[in-house]
Amino acid sequence: MIGTLLIAAVVVVAVGAVASATRRGFGTGLWTQAAGSAGIAGAGLWALLAGERAGQGFGPGLVAVAGGPDPAGSPLRFGVDGLSGLFLFALGLVAAAALVFSRGYLTAPGPDGRDRPDGRARAVAALTGVFVLVLVLVLCARDPVGFLTGWEAMSLVPAVVILVQRRADARSRRTVFTYLAITHLAGVGTWTAVLLAARTGVLGGSMAPPGRGVQVVIAVTALFGMGAKAGAMPLHVWLPRAHPIAPAPVSALMSGVMVKVAVYGMVRLLVVLLGPLPTWFGVLVLAVGGFSAVGGVTYALLQHELKRLLALSSIENVGIVLLGLGACLVLRAQGADAWAAVALGACLLHTLNHAVFKALLFLGAGAVERATGTLRLDHLGGLLRRMPRTGVAVAVAAAAIAGLPPLNGFASEWVTFQVLLRLPARHDLLGGVAGLLALAALAATAGLAVTCFVKVVGLVLLGPARSAGAAAAREVPASMTGPTALLAATCVVLGVVPGLLLRPLVALAPWLPDGAGAGSAGVTAAPLGAALHLPGSGGLPTPGLAAVLVALTAVLALARGRRSAAPAPSWACGQVVGPELNWTGAGFTKPLRLVLESVLRPRRHISVREEAGIVHEVTYRGHVPQLIDERVYRPAARRSAVAAAYARRLQSGSLGTYVGYLIGLVVLLLVLARTGVLA
């Protein structure tokens, strides 16, 4: 049944993609694609919940969708299980919202007021559908060929979209090159891991762990290859470049889903298919996660461009997801199976939560760009009044991503905190110290994220308009506010009743006994099962917390009354408040920048134009360089260019030299054969 629904949904998306490429069928095509995506989300959620009811963990494929009479023997195999289901749900939800949003975003009203999709808009609309289909392929593939085909296509499709949308200008070509170069370098890791796994029978569903050595090689290569695709530091450099220049709906899919599909690959391979891994590997994942979380959010909060900030914040959230995954691996290695299952649940819950609010923020950024013509944070402002619907949705997403109760980001960060606290409780020095450092990293990340997203809310939504474009902004059409409202509502629902989802996610752990589900993992649920209760914790009764918070706020707001003195300008020591007094994002983050100066090494250039002792003009420019770019990638790129230049000398173009190479090779081979090196 799930399979049939999924196939139908996929066909609908495909039909919609074809239709949206045509001039006539553009709008209908997008709606069709969105309907198909909603079907994918439904099938995914069904698979997730059904997987829990049946008490089944992972098989090679719970539902054989295709593959002929003997699914096991055919080279291409597909399947849907609970884990695929979760990611299909996230994909479908985000894609449906992004596709409906595309309807308004891609078409600019012409002089007669009618929407006219131009060729590029139609191509982007069709390619968005292709992107969705490719992601479904990765999530459902159960054999190396299908998986790797989907994996590579998943990298290529966004590159094509960016090139189409940007008319292949020089800067975006360069960015796309960086993106593809890093993806392909990292692809070595993914291919090695998947092919090794297939060769040793791990991919076929045999749960028996292979030899320790092979297992570790698969794990490390998978972390390298899939970690790069997920944007984990230090392999993240492509992400803050590529995500901002894609069209907003595609950015939403990239940050919201594509990065998560890399997490899916890691969970599938490291947690589900490989047996328990050594403790140090889990600690390595924790280190990568902590580094990504703190580094991502630190650089995010120093950005001046909205979409770039959001892209860097995706790195932060992938870091938090990896902290959950690392905790899961360490706990598994130490034999704490029940808590390892909860850690898996934390990792997956944050994955879904981040998909929802990051997609919402990217769509919101698209709406802001449409309305104001800019994404520079210091040129926005006051949009909550001019674009109330988009503004409220973006504010909800910002509060959720900052980890504030009672929204979903808080729930998943809370569970992650709880599982990290289990690591020092195991009395193992390596895992314990790693857990302690991870706790500190997560706490710092939470604090920095609050600063980062208060800055976003303040600069984009509040205060005076900081440019003419922002002052003239109008609310975007309903096709763009509807999807953001849907995602904002999802943030609230997932924040109030996270327990309903955490239980099936915990039950996905394949090492839990069949049918035991979440009960044996110690996730004792309250009667409704909506709250979060973990043994040892004081409990996070999210519905109660939300109700108390909302009720108290309402009572206090009513008690305050509306009595107010006449409006007065804000206090600036008696000066007239003009635009020159506007606070900037750089000013807001200055305390943190100064504190972290020795790490971040910000640069500033001040030039003073002085005439006859009177200062006429002071210009200030400052920026914070990305240290990993400057210290690692740039020297590496320079050295490889030099090495390539040397290598080119071998290729002189003269026939004589090439004949010389051949003779030399033959002689060498003969000598080797003669001396017995080559038998």
Partner 1 sequence: MIGAEPAAAAAVQVVGGLLLAPLLPGLVQLFKARLQGRRGAGPGQPFRDLRRLWGKSAVTVEGTTAVYRLAPAVVAAAVATAVLVVPVASRTAGWGVGHDALALGGLLALARFAVAAASWDTGNGFALMGASRDLMIAVFVELTLVLALAGPALAAGGTDLTAIIAAGAGATAWTTPVRALGAVAFALVAIAETGRQPVDNPDTHLELTMIHEGPLLEYAGRDLAYLQWAAAARHWLVLVLAAQVFLPHPAAVWAQLALLPVVLAALCGALALTETLAAKMRILRVPRFLAAGAVAAGLGVTASLAGLA
Per CB under 8 A, contacts with partner 1 among 404-433 are 404-405, 410, 414, 417-418, 421, 424-425, 427-429, 432-433
Task: Please state, in angstroms and rounded to a whole number, the distance separating the CA atoms of residues 504 and 494.
Answer: 14
* Residue given tokens 């026939």 in the structure block: 655
In the complex, least distance from residue 547 CB atom to partner 1, rounded to whole angstroms: 8
Piece of the chain touching partner 1 by CB under 8 A; list 155-163, 180-188, 265-273, 587-595 = 587-595
* Residue given tokens 């569903």 in the structure block: 205
Among 156, 443, 618, 678, the residue binding partner 1 under the rule CB under 8 A is 443
Among 180, 195, 444, 500, the residue binding partner 1 under the rule CB under 8 A is 444
Continuous segment of H or E residues that includes residue 60 = none
Among 535, 625, 660, 664, the residue binding partner 1 under the rule CB under 8 A is 535
Cβ contact 227:235 at 8 Å: yes
Taking CB under 8 A as the criterion, which residues in 629-658 touch partner 1? none
Among 60, 204, 278, 458, the residue binding partner 1 under the rule CB under 8 A is 458
Among 22, 206, 537, 652, the residue binding partner 1 under the rule CB under 8 A is 537
Task: Please state, in angstroms and rounded to a whole number, the distance separating the CA atoms of residues 197 and 401.
Answer: 35
**128 vs 390, which CB is nearer to partner 1?**
390
Task: Please state, in angstroms and rounded to a whole number, the distance separating the CA atoms of residues 85 and 49.
Answer: 9
Taking CB under 8 A as the criterion, which residues in 300-329 touch partner 1? none
Piece of the chain touching partner 1 by CB under 8 A; list 77-85, 368-376, 544-552, 626-634 = 544-552
**577 vs 669, which CB is nearer to partner 1?**
577
Continuous segment of H or E residues that includes residue 148 = helix 144-165
Neighbours of 476 (CB within 10 A): 22
Task: Please state, in angstroms and rounded to a whole number, the distance separating the CA atoms of residues 419 and 431.
Answer: 12
**27 vs 405, which CB is nearer to partner 1?**
405
> What distance separates the 2 farthest-apart alpha carbons in the chain?
102
In the complex, least distance from residue 298 CB atom to partner 1, rounded to whole angstroms: 10
In the complex, least distance from residue 469 CB atom to partner 1, rounded to whole angstroms: 18
Task: Please state, in angstroms and rounded to a whole number, the distance separating the CA atoms of residues 678 and 248.
Answer: 58
Continuous segment of H or E residues that includes residue 69 = none
In the complex, least distance from residue 393 CB atom to partner 1, rounded to whole angstroms: 15
**26 vs 410, which CB is nearer to partner 1?**
410
In the complex, least distance from residue 477 CB atom to partner 1, rounded to whole angstroms: 23
Taking CB under 8 A as the criterion, which residues in 78-137 touch partner 1? none
**485 vs 592, which CB is nearer to partner 1?**
592
Measured CA angle at 266 (ends 139, 351), to 5 deg:
75
Continuous segment of H or E residues that includes residue 525 = none
Tokens standing for residue 12? 């609908």
In the complex, least distance from residue 412 CB atom to partner 1, rounded to whole angstroms: 12
* Contact call for residue 201 and partner 1 (CB under 8 A): no
Taking CB under 8 A as the criterion, which residues in 356-415 touch partner 1? 382, 384-385, 399, 402-405, 410, 414
**34 vs 399, which CB is nearer to partner 1?**
399
**168 vs 581, which CB is nearer to partner 1?**
581
Among 136, 148, 459, 494, the residue binding partner 1 under the rule CB under 8 A is 459
Q: Say which amino acid occupies 638.
A: R
Could you give phi then psi for residue 598, rounded to 5 degrees?
A: -70, -20
Residues 6+ apart with CB under 8 A from 68: 74
3-state secondary structure at position 508: coil
Among 191, 280, 511, 588, the residue binding partner 1 under the rule CB under 8 A is 588
Task: Please state, in angstroms and rounded to a whole number, the distance separating the CA atoms of residues 344 and 416.
Answer: 9
3-state secondary structure at position 75: coil
* Contact call for residue 439 and partner 1 (CB under 8 A): yes
Task: Please state, in angstroms and rounded to a whole number, the distance separating the CA atoms of residues 451 and 433.
Answer: 27
Among 534, 600, 624, 626, the residue binding partner 1 under the rule CB under 8 A is 534
Number of residues lying near partner 1 (CB under 8 A): 83
Closest CA to 370 of 357, 383, 385, 359: 383
The answer to whether the peptide bond before residue 406 is cis (omega within 30 degrees of 0) is yes
* Contact call for residue 538 and partner 1 (CB under 8 A): yes
Could you give phi then psi for residue 619, rounded to 5 degrees?
A: -110, 140
Taking CB under 8 A as the criterion, which residues in 549-578 touch partner 1? 549, 552-553, 556-557, 559-561, 563-573, 577
Piece of the chain touching partner 1 by CB under 8 A; list 72-80, 218-226, 534-542, 650-658 = 534-542
Residues 6+ apart with CB under 8 A from 378: 304, 459, 466, 584, 585, 586
For the chain, the first-to-last Cα distance in angstroms comes to 58
Taking CB under 8 A as the criterion, which residues in 167-196 touch partner 1? none
In the complex, least distance from residue 555 CB atom to partner 1, rounded to whole angstroms: 8
Among 64, 257, 508, 540, the residue binding partner 1 under the rule CB under 8 A is 540
